[in-house]
Amino acid sequence: MSARQTLGRALPRRRQRTGHTLPLIVSLTSHPPRFPTLLHTLHSLLQQRLRPDALELCVAEHEGSALPRAVLALRNDGLILRIADDLKSYKKYVPARAAWPDALIVTADDDAYYRPTWLAELVAAWTPHARTVLCHRAHRLVLDATGAPLPYAHWVRQIPDIGPDPLIFPTGVGGVLYPPGLHHADVLKPERFTALCPTSDDIWFYWMGMLAGASFRKIGPSRDSVFWSRSQRRGLWRHNVAGGNDGAVAAMLSAYGLPAALAARTAAAI
């Protein structure tokens, strides 16, 4: 798997970065059902008070020609259009990480509004050398007596500011900051994630982080996500809430076993 082609120019580098010493990349993906509202999300990301070193939109090659002209015009404002293999929702992270192995990568969704301080808040909470993934929105896993997660319906939803804690489960819509080197070596392997978690990228990235010894922190107060009108008519979240996440967790347990951090939490509770 390669990062493939990029079209456009990177955002200009700051002479002095605020709060980060690594390249800062904001990455998202989209597909034709979301193209009508994509422009609004991109505008909110381009208007962040903390400007990233690159804002990347990754789309599949056969879908790029359907992008609205107004979206393509944003390349003049610094948007980078990346053409990649059709990895579905995984396009928001996998190609960017392959292209920027040593960067801070912040993922966003294509159907939401991001307030002007969204990115600065994530970066301000990042500490160099800490093995912590940061997010704005998260749930908390609930474990059974063996340490395995209970079904998704039993998890505690939209927890307040807390962590770092291995039981914190980042949800992608709020935005997630991934420092480099905090995932298992399999994280970028399409043959693995398409087989085990075909629609549950949040489960895949969480499990890959757990296996690499990462912890997770939810920052700031809980806020409701702001979605564009009609953008939620189609979405993987419906499938995942209805059982897709539970299937992905079962597949990860079968393929990789129970991460040590979860087993340790269970042992400590006995």
CA atoms within 13 A on the CB side of 107: 27
For residue 232, pLDDT over 60 is answered with no
Q: Using one digit for the tens of pLDDT, what is the confidence trace for 42-99?
A: 999 999 999 999 999 999 999 999 999 999 999 999 999 999 999 999 999 999 999 9
* Torsion, CA 211, CA 213, CA 219, CA 223, rounded to 10: 10
Question: What's the pLDDT at 227?
Answer: 85
pLDDT band per the 50, 70, 90 thresholds, residue 202: very high
Q: What is the pLDDT of residue 238?
A: 46
Mean of pLDDT over the chain: 89
What does the pLDDT look like over 243-259, one tens digit per residue?
589 999 999 999 999 99
Q: Which residue has the higher pLDDT, 225 or 208?
A: 208
The better pLDDT of the pair 201, 13 is held by 201
Q: What pLDDT does 244 receive?
A: 85
Rounded CA-CA distance 178/216 in Å is: 10
At residue 270, does pLDDT exceed 60? no
Is the distance from CB of 218 to CB of 138 less than 8 angstroms?
yes
Q: What is the pLDDT of residue 3?
A: 65
On whether the CB atoms of residues 246 and 152 are closer than 8 A, the answer is: yes
Share of the chain above pLDDT 90, in %: 75
Q: Which of 33-42, 189-198, 216-225 shows the lowest per-residue confidence on average (mean pLDDT)?
A: 216-225
Identity of the residue numbered 203: I
pLDDT at residue 231 above 80? no
**Which residues 6+ apart lie within 8 Å of 97 measured at CB?**
105, 178, 187, 188
163: confidence class by pLDDT, cuts 50, 70, 90: confident
Q: Which residues does 125 contact at the CB level (< 8 Å), separation at least 6? A: 134, 177, 217, 219
| pLDDT of 22 higher than 90 | yes
Q: Is residue 202 within 8 Å of residue 171, measured between CB atoms?
A: yes
Supply the pLDDT for residue 269: 58
122-150 pLDDT, tens digit each: 999 999 989 999 999 999 999 998 889 99
234 pLDDT higher than 60:
no
Q: What pLDDT does residue 2 have? A: 54
Q: Identify the residue with better confidence: 20 or 257.
A: 257
Q: Which residue has the tokens 């392997």?
A: 189
**b/e per residue, 190-227, with b = 16+ CB within 10 A?**
eebbeebbbbbbbbbbbbbbbbeebbbbbbbeeeebeb
- What is the per-residue pLDDT for 263? 84
- Are 97 and 244 in contact, with CB atoms under 8 Å apart? no
Q: How many CB atoms lie within 10 A of CB 77?
A: 13
pLDDT value of residue 241: 47
**Cα–Cα distance, 78 to 247 (Å, whole number):** 39
